[in-house]
Structure 1
């Protein structure tokens, strides 16, 4: 019984993981709502460049967290992450300025990156059974999407009630406080034990990776590069190339995000019944076909239907890749999942630059062609990952 977590503790740790993803969505996706108030407050139309601090800080946090988890307890790291986020918001609330804004964005980026990486690692090591693990890893993404669905609306409401931008960021730290309470009352013994078992694998030793892991990592990179490029340029494509009005051009992405949220909510039912080695390639095929319909068929009714199906199937891929990567090693070290996360985060970070470069030199239509190309290469990599998988069979026998 010493090596088993009680059901209550397992539930608390799992809820902590969900809230970590919810917090990360809060601080990232509130950007659109606060951009205009920030521009007006500082009288600076180029305030959007300040949000680069969040992306860079998140990338750095994910880069170093694997090493930190080897040297420090997960409980301590979560507490420190909460302190960083809450303290920076408090300082900015007391003394709002461009300087403290940059500090705030850097700190919430660090906190969000730490939360997301630690939560992914925790989910992997809380659940041994592959189907239960996959279910929970994917379901964490539901909380990210859920945060993305409600936080912009919540922030917009606060703005209409004349709340300042720094007050909104302070309110968002309520989630961090909730995480702190859960962390204090949780037992992290088994997770720290996993860290101890993995110390000998602490470095990013790519030579220990099998071919499947390389395919998974690069598939994650290309998948997020493609998805974020598509969501960034799709509305402009529908308006400028297909000639749709503003309202119609907004509908496909709205339907897509709503369907993703629904798909992730239903993910526990899907992943309990269907193994990831089937979900990843088959769902990727459906997603790619729907994406082609969205881009190459100008009929709005077909596009909207394709956007719904696209969202329902597409939502499983990235989190599924994270989970499937952990199947390739027994007692996977902290650096494994954080490295796959790092590949995905790099794809996210490069999507804006890549899309802008292609658009500038080759045009908007080529941007959308490149999205299809990235999806196809990602699909090929996923198929290769499944074919060359070294998935541990023993973990399935360990139970929940």
Structure 2
């Protein structure tokens, strides 16, 4: 198989892809207030509008395999980057609610393309299982880095009087960076790559553990964005905080998560992956329960840091554990795990907005606690019927 591709540039594309999607998802709670004020709508209504972004993101993730097979890797990336730049410019020219709704749907679709191809590239250029967990976790670090940096930046910009459009100016800038990177990179052939995986894995059944881990990814990607979207408003409502004070709590979360992701790429090399997942989920469940129900703001701040740190490796860890349930993981399996997980991202705004309209902000934040509790149950069931330990017991990777 030819290795004539620019590994450094492809890694950079993967990192920027996750940073782009992290910028979209992690800042919803920060930009929600300015949007409500600008359009004179309540948070539940704007939360429903963000469902358009999630639908846009989900469609290319679901169809990612077809897109890559038909058009390769470069063309979808170039189209998505160019569309991001164009839509951001149009939003600046026509900042209406209708244009905003169209823009978030299209930018969400561009984010879906970036995340699908970015995830595939990580698997494609890291074929051995030992390095895959570490590489996926380090790539996911950039998702959290977006939350850590942009939560702070947007809170400062809004405090200085900036409009909500500043957020989409940032997205346009990321689109420019992506366009430059994608045009100057060399890519591996997706056609050439498939038989290598398919020969070993096309006839191998995935087993119940894969589908349970798909469910775990769904619950994780349902719980986390609910937390980031509603926590700032909940803290302002319950403790009469200023917006910039409430933003500090989510900033602490994202900084702790980015720190955890940077460190956990090494942790998973010496700790069994199932043990790592169980510890992270257990601590995360306790932390989110405290955030949602404690009356002590100092304890909530500490819990936000703990939640971020121990939550950090779950997405990539679950993806990696799912890929280890077969003797040789394929792009199809990675795509299935990612697609099932992304359904959580697709539904979180709708589900949490409905909970908010019925039970208020306290109920909306606790929806994240409920999803996390179900995640723990699902993970325990997946470990109980896991085949990874038997399939990979002779390899260096610890599962």
The TM-score normalised by the length of structure 2 is 0.80
Q: Are 2:275 and 1:266 aligned?
A: no
The aligned counterpart of 1:117 is 116
Deviating more after overlay: 47-56 vs 337-346: 47-56
Other structure's SS at 1:209 match: coil
- Deviation string 1:106-144 (CA, Å, 9 cap, x unpaired) is 221111011012111211221123242111212222211
Aligned equivalents of 1:182, 1:38: Cα separation in 2: 31
The aligned counterpart of 2:183 is 184
Aligned equivalents of 1:327, 1:190: Cα separation in 2: 24
CA contact (8 A) 1:131 1:275 kept: no
CA contact (8 A) 2:256 2:308 kept: yes
Q: How does 1:205-284 map to 2 (within 5 A)?
A: 208-234=205-231, 244-246=239-241, 252-284=249-281
Other structure's SS at 2:63 match: helix
Q: Are 2:13 and 1:16 aligned?
A: yes
Q: How does 1:1-400 map to 2 (within 5 A)?
A: 2-4=1-3, 9-29=6-26, 44-45=40-41, 48=46, 50-93=49-92, 100-155=99-154, 169-189=168-188, 191-195=190-194, 197=196, 208-234=205-231, 244-246=239-241, 252-295=249-292, 298-329=295-326, 332-358=329-355, 371-391=368-388, 392-393=391-392, 396=395
CA contact (8 A) 1:130 1:395 kept: no
Aligned equivalents of 1:309, 1:74: Cα separation in 2: 37
**How far did residue 38 of structure 1 move?**
5.9
Shift of the 70–331 alpha-carbon distance from structure 1 to 2, 3 Å rule, reads: farther
Shift of the 379–120 alpha-carbon distance from structure 1 to 2, 3 Å rule, reads: same
Aligned equivalents of 1:357, 1:176: Cα separation in 2: 32
Aligned equivalents of 1:307, 1:260: Cα separation in 2: 10
Aligned residues: 390
**How far did residue 57 of structure 1 move?**
0.6
- Deviation string 1:145-186 (CA, Å, 9 cap, x unpaired) is 211222344456666888776676355333233333333333
- Deviation string 1:321-369 (CA, Å, 9 cap, x unpaired) is 1222222345544443233223222223333443444455567766666
For the aligned residue pairs, the C-alpha RMSD in angstroms reads 3.9
Aligned equivalents of 1:364, 1:169: Cα separation in 2: 26
Deviating more after overlay: 13-22 vs 186-195: 186-195
CA contact (8 A) 2:72 2:189 kept: no
Aligned equivalents of 2:163, 2:310: Cα separation in 1: 38
Name stretches of at least 5 consecutive residues in structure 1 with no aligned partner.
Answer: none
Shift of the 305–153 alpha-carbon distance from structure 1 to 2, 3 Å rule, reads: closer
**How far did residue 317 of structure 1 move?**
0.9
- Deviation string 1:170-213 (CA, Å, 9 cap, x unpaired) is 5533323333333333332255422455679999x9x9431111
Shift of the 146–250 alpha-carbon distance from structure 1 to 2, 3 Å rule, reads: closer
Deviating more after overlay: 272-281 vs 93-102: 93-102
Name stretches of at least 5 consecutive residues in structure 2 with no aligned partner.
Answer: none
